Amino acid sequence: MRQDKSFDFATLTPEAEVERAVAELRFGRPVIMREVGRRIAALALDCVAPALFDQFARAAENRHSLFLTRERADRLGIRADGGIAVPLAGIGFDEASRLAYALSSEKPAAWTDADPLAAASQELARLALLLPAMVTSEIAPEDGRFAACQEIDFATLDQSEGARQNFQQVVRTRVPLKEIGDADFAVFRGGLAQKDQIAIIVGKPDLGAPVPVRIHSSCITGDLSGSLKCDCGDQLRNGLKQLKAAGGGVLVYLDQEGRGTGIGAKMRAYGYQHQGLDTIDADAELGLASDHRRYEAAAAMLSLLGISSVVLHTNNPTKIDGLRANGIDVSGHVRVTGTVTTDNVNYLRTKTLRAGHTLELESLIAAE
Ligand SMILES: Nc1nc2c(ncn2[C@@H]2O[C@H](COP(=O)(O)OP(=O)(O)OP(=O)(O)O)[C@@H](O)[C@H]2O)c(=O)[nH]1
Ligand SMILES: [Zn+2]
């Protein structure tokens, strides 16, 4: 029988390899990171059953270690730009978890600078929306015990980067909105390990001039449930109103819960905030940087809508930089505010003082 060579299911693209590895980590299974001459197995501690953790320790003959990021090392009082490796011989699941993300954990008894291949595996955990604490072990060339695990080449991670901008519009349909009126919802599919994302086109913006655009990061607690801990719900609704008042515009709603860390990490961070940490230190305690959001998807979605120049509705300078870095002209920006409450004032203060947001907080407080 003749075979159509263009239809070869055996060929995996770099992004398909990454997507598979991400799915495996989320199932609590190890993935293999490979570079010339060596392989390591890596497991995301955030998503592994204690029994599998023990099984991994036996397979590694106790020569496994725990990769922790620079941010987590710093919280443990250790300066190491590339992160650290903590030897795990004799350390069980609970103690490893404490080292990885418990509040006020003791320094580990021993550590070394992290192996760059183990450090690279944190990118897979990020994509999987898992905490970047990885249990890793070198695999001997003749060791067949990990043969069933998904392998990924170090270089593949870089090669898959292009997929972050690779989106298609799936559908665009009218949805009338309360207080806003006519709007279209456009659904986009693509990127790297991302859910479908949406753009809400309010009215009929003039695409010949810079288009009023709000880039909004998803916030289940604020957008959906009216949480008082942040200003997101107000910003979502005020943003839509501002676009309508500007004669039409686009709200891009990005799959970026918890500044790109996922709802699990965000709720853990809220727990630490209830114990006195601010939003940035709480994330660092979990091994996370202050902001994990990327803007390739937003730029790609705007381009597919025929938009190359925008007036951005935001207080966040990194959103402006992120769009510009991905080829969108930002000709100006407009502030989007919410209500200041006793529950969110510290969060807003931290955003202003530590993340450079252009909020005029004192005048907002005075206006309440
Ligand atoms: N990790 C973490 N994420 C949070 C916390 N509070 C809110 N978020 C997330 O922060 C993001 C806020 O999104 P936006 O309102 O679009 O962004 P912004 O950075 O405030 O910028 P602008 O609103 O455009 O000025 C959402 O993804 C929320 O889920 C927190 O305490 N920890
Ligand atoms: Zn929020």
Ligand 1 geometric centre to CA of 258 (Å):
6
Gap between the Cα atoms of 104 and 133, Å rounded: 16
Q: What is the ipTM of this complex?
A: 0.97
Sign of the alpha-carbon torsion through 326, 327, 333, 334? negative
pLDDT tens-digit readout, 276-305: 999 999 999 999 999 999 999 999 999 999
Ligand 1 pocket (Cβ < 6 Å) reads 216-219, 230, 232, 235, 256-259, 261, 266, 269, 279, 283, 314-316, 319, 336, 357
Gap between the Cα atoms of 32 and 100, Å rounded: 21
- Statement: the pTM of the whole predicted model exceeds 0.90: yes
pLDDT tens-digit readout, 48-60: 999 999 999 999 9
When pLDDT is cut at 50, 70 and 90, the band that residue 364 belongs to is low
pLDDT tens-digit readout, 335-360: 998 888 888 888 878 878 777 777 67
Asked if residue 9 is part of any domain, the answer here is no
The domain boundary, picked from 160, 193, 228, lies at 160
Answer for the pair 35, 25: CB distance below 8 angstroms, yes or no. Answer: no
Compute φ and ψ for 59, nearest 5 degrees.
-60, -35
**DSSP H stretches of helix in the chain:** 14-26, 50-59, 70-75, 93-101, 116-127, 154-159, 225, 232-245, 257-260, 263-274, 279-285, 296-304, 317-325, 345-354, 361-367
The answer on 115 and 20 residing in a single domain is yes
Ligand 1 geometric centre to CA of 269 (Å):
13
Tell me the two tokens of residue 211: 């288009």
The answer on 171 and 156 residing in a single domain is no
CATH number of domain containing 21: 3.90.870.10
Answer for the pair 336, 242: CB distance below 8 angstroms, yes or no. Answer: yes
Owning domain of residue 106: 14-160
* Residue 218 marked as a ligand binder: yes
The answer on 146 and 33 residing in a single domain is yes
- Concerning whether 145 is annotated as a catalytic residue, the answer is no
The domain boundary, picked from 142, 160, 178, lies at 160
7 Cβ neighbours under 8 A, 6+ residues apart? none
Residue 333: in which H helix or E strand, if any?
Answer: strand 329-334
Asked if residue 206 is part of any domain, the answer here is yes
The answer on 209 and 313 residing in a single domain is yes
Give the closest ligand to the alpha carbon of residue 323: 1
The domain boundary, picked from 132, 160, 188, lies at 160
- Locate the ligand 1 atom nearest the alpha carbon of residue 236 and give its number: 15
- Locate the ligand 1 atom nearest the alpha carbon of residue 231 and give its number: 15
Give the closest ligand to the alpha carbon of residue 251: 1
- Concerning whether 293 is annotated as a catalytic residue, the answer is yes
